[in-house]
Structures are given as structure tokens and as C-alpha cells.
Amino acid sequence: MASLKTKAVDSVKITGATMAIVGILQLIQLVVLGRVLGAAVFGAIAVIQIVIQFAQMYMDMGITDAIIQKEKISKKELSSLYWFSIGLGTVLFLLMALAAPVIATLFDQPELEGYIRVIGISFAIIPFGAQFQTIATKSLDFKDIGKYEILSNLAGTLVTLTLAIFFSLGAWSLVYGFITMSVFKTVPWAIHGFRDSGTRPHWEFAWGDIQELINFGMYRLAANTANFFNTKIDQIVVGIMLGPQILGYYSMAMNIVMQPIQRLNPMITKVSFPVFSKIQKDRLRLRKAYLFIIKLIMALNAPLYGGLIVLAPYVIPMLLGDGWGEAIPVVQILSLYALFRALGNPSGSLFVAVGKVKWSFYWQLSLLFVVPLVAYLSSLSGSIVLVASAMALLRFVLFFINYWLRIRWIIGPAIAPLLKAIFIPLGYSAVMATVLVVIIASISGIADGRMIVTGTLAGAFVYGGLMLLFERKLLQEVKGMFIKKAEI
């Protein structure tokens, strides 16, 4: 167990550093594209991103989770899965080419057809290295993962920004940037994997040996498909019902609020999944680990989103320019959406770790009857503010329904500690936000940059002070994680 603790702690450190660097690169890309291209073009980019994420999900087919979840997997199984993934990537490339005109017609954006056909090339490339990254994840070997992740994102960002700024290629800059990132991520992993005799696939394929893993992956894929639509349907509906420019505002707001949880949560949940898998038969330890992760996620995210709600009127114009004013209230409302969406991430890792992938599938399937309806009905108002409000309220309600129907059957009754883990940091953040509002009112009229710096420092001082006064135990536990004394 000491080895597991050490690996988990080291993995958190490496993943944290990687996510920080990648997050900065992607935030720079997001801001520059927003300023250079404007809301209408960014609406097209939003559709491209949705297509990319959907295709990536089907390219994986839940195989990554199946490999990690299975305690022992043979070389024959890994070899068969490798060749299966390459074949699947080729099929996806062809399917995207066929689907491109349909998607372009659906969103009434003819230019999407070319974007989608070209970007499909990347899905014939990625499978050649993906499995080797999965094996490294299973072993909690995040050193190479971090190195290749940074390299590929740096290359992709440089290509995207160069083409957007100096060649005025618009949305094409993102297309070529993503293909570049795919190449720079795949080639090192392919070299790494084929050099190592332990991971190098054999020239063999046995469907019977991988059918169980594929079946596991199919349930995971079905759950991920439903989850994808449940988390993207608001953007899809906005794009279809309200047009590309309004989608640009909404998508930019969503991208901004998702930045913290896309950086902080993977640092925790990427490690929590293999750890959950290793203690999947110990209910008490699962409960302790789950509640600690929820508490940590809330303690990290609540002050960030509380500060963003207050400072959004200054942050958005400074980052994106005056043409993005309509995104400000959407950012403020979606901050609450993102906060409770972040809390749902560990449950996905928990269910897969204990082999309950069917539970995730049925849950996500049931949400398909709720989330699209809420998104559609709210979009009839023609207001993205109302759409954002409806999605935020729904996400709050769904978190607690999820606990009552699913989580408590895995970790046991824990509503009291769960509520404390959520609402105590939320209360500290509310106090912090109130103080910020008072400070901002007293110094109104200063430049946006100075307002942001002042608000950030004041918020950090207030929230940090509250944590030091009332949450020393949590701070000690977090500190213990980084000096290898945390109890997992």
C-alpha cells in the first residue's frame, strides 16, 4: 500500500503541473481566437469542438477504461485491442467525411463541411499511440504522459495562433492546429510503445479474447455518449435555434467557466480512478476517498467561481474586447453550473472503478429525456441567459438525485458529511464574494486590470484566512498529499 500512496501522490504532482501548463496554453488560444475571430466565427469553432469531442469518444469506445479497470490483462488482449482501435479510427475518419454535409446543413453553416472532413484525418492517426498512454495511466506513470501532453499542446497552440493571427485562416487555424497536436502526441507514444517489448503489440488479433473488454467498453461508451449529449445539448440547441453568433457568445462563456475544472479536476480524477480501482472492494475506504475528493474539489473551485462571478464584468472585456459584452451574464450564471458539474466527475470514476458501468449508462440514458427538453424549452425564449439559468439549476438538482439513487449504494449513507464538504467551502466563498462586492463599489472607476488584480488579491486573502481559521484539518490533509503522508 505504501507503493500505491507514493505513486498516487507523485501522480497528483505531475498531473497538476501538466494541467497547469496545458491550461495556460489553451486559455491563451481561447482568448486570442476570441479577440481575433469574433463571436460569429467562434460559433463555427464551437461546432468543430463538439464534433472533435464526439469522434474522440467513439474512437476510444470505452477501451481505455476497460484496460485500466481490469486488474490483469494479457499481451494477447492488448495486441488485439490495439489493432481493433486502429481499424476503428479509420472507420471514424470515413464516417466523418460522410456526415460532414449533414452537420453543415443542420447548423446552416456550409463551411463546416470542409472543416469536419479535414479534421477527420486526425482520427486515423491518434489510435497508433493511444493505447500506450492508457498503459502508462494504469501504472500511474504520469511522467511521460505529462511530457507528451505538454509537447503536443504547445505545438498545436503555436500552429493555431500562427495561422489565425498571421494568415487570417479563421476556423481553419483550429482544424490544422488540432491535426498538428494529434501528430505530436501520437508519434512519441508510438515510438515509446514499440521500443518497449512489454507494450509492443504482437501481429495477432483474437476477437474472442477481447469481447468481454469490448462489452465493458460498450456500456461505458453508451454512458459516455448519453453524457456527451447531456453536457453538450445546450450548445447544440443554441447553435440550431439561435444561430452561430449567439452560439459564439454561449460557447465562449462555457469555455471560460470550464477552464478551472478542466485543469483542476483531471489532476484529481485521473489519479482517483486507478486508486478507486485498487480499493474497489473496501467500502469504508471508498467512502473516505470519495468524500475527501469532493471536499477538495469544492474547496478549490468554489472561490474561483465566486471570484469569477464578481469580476466577470472586468475580466471579459479585458480578455476578449468590448464585442463580448453579451457573454458576461452568461459567464456569471454558468459559473454555478460548472461548480456543480465539477462535483459530478468523481462519481463517474467511482462507478467504473467498481465495475458498475451499467449504472452510469442507465443514469445518462434517463437524463436524455430531461436535459434536452430543458435546453429546448429554455431556448424558445430566445435568451441565452435563460438557457444558462435553466442548465445551472438543473445541474444542481441532478447532483443530489445522483447521490440518492446511485452513490450512496456504493459508499453507504453519507449525506451529512457530503453536505458539509459542499456547503462549508461554498459559504466561505459567499463571504469572500460579498467582501469583493464591497471593495469594488468603494474603488469603482479604476482600470479593469487594476480592478482584477485588487479583487483577486483581496479574495485570496479573505478565503485563505477563512480556510486557515476553520479548515486547518483539510489544509493539513492536502499538505500531506504532497509530502507523501496522505491516507488513501
Tell me, yes or no, whether 348 lies in a domain. Answer: yes
Q: What is the pLDDT at residue 7?
A: 60
In a domain, 391, yes or no: yes
Q: How would you write the pLDDT of the chain (488 residues) with one tens digit per residue?
A: 445 556 666 666 777 788 789 889 988 999 999 999 989 899 999 999 998 888 877 777 778 877 887 778 899 999 999 999 999 889 999 999 999 999 999 999 999 999 999 999 998 999 999 999 989 888 777 788 889 999 999 999 999 999 999 999 999 999 999 999 999 999 999 999 999 988 999 999 999 888 888 887 777 777 778 878 888 999 999 999 999 999 999 999 999 999 888 777 766 766 677 778 778 778 888 888 899 889 988 999 999 999 999 999 999 999 998 889 999 999 999 999 999 999 888 887 888 788 787 787 788 889 988 999 999 999 999 999 999 999 999 999 999 999 999 999 999 999 999 999 999 999 999 999 999 999 999 988 888 899 999 999 999 999 999 999 999 888 887 766 554 444 44
User: What is the residue-wise DSSP string for 170-219?
Assistant: TTHHHHHHHHHHHHHHHHHHHHHHHHSTTTPPPS---HHHHHHHHHHHHH
Q: Are the CB atoms for 247 and 235 separated by under 8 Å?
A: yes
Q: Answer for the pair 367, 223: CB distance below 8 angstroms, yes or no.
A: no
Beta-carbon contacts of 294 under 8 Å, excluding residues fewer than 6 positions away, are 343, 346, 418, 421, 422
Distances (CA, A) of 150 to 33, 115, 177, 273, 405: 20, 25, 14, 22, 39
Q: Which of 350, 352, 325, 316 is nearest to 68 (CA)?
A: 352
Cβ-based neighbour number of residue 481 at 10 Å: 20
- Which residue segment(s) compose the domain that 253 sits in? 2-482
Question: Does residue 170 lie within any of the structural domains?
Answer: yes
Distance (Å, whole) CA 173 – CA 164: 5
| Residue 68 within a domain | yes
C-alpha cell at 238: 443554441
Is position 350 within any domain? yes
Instruction: Please tell me the total count of domains within the chain.
Output: 1
Is 338 among the domain residues? yes
Answer whether 288's CB lies under 8 Å from 414's CB.
no
pLDDT the model gives residue 486? 40
What's the pTM value of the predicted model, to 2 decimals?
0.84
- The answer to whether residue 488 is domain-embedded is no
487 part of a folded domain: no
Number of helices (H), then strands (E), in the chain: 19, 0
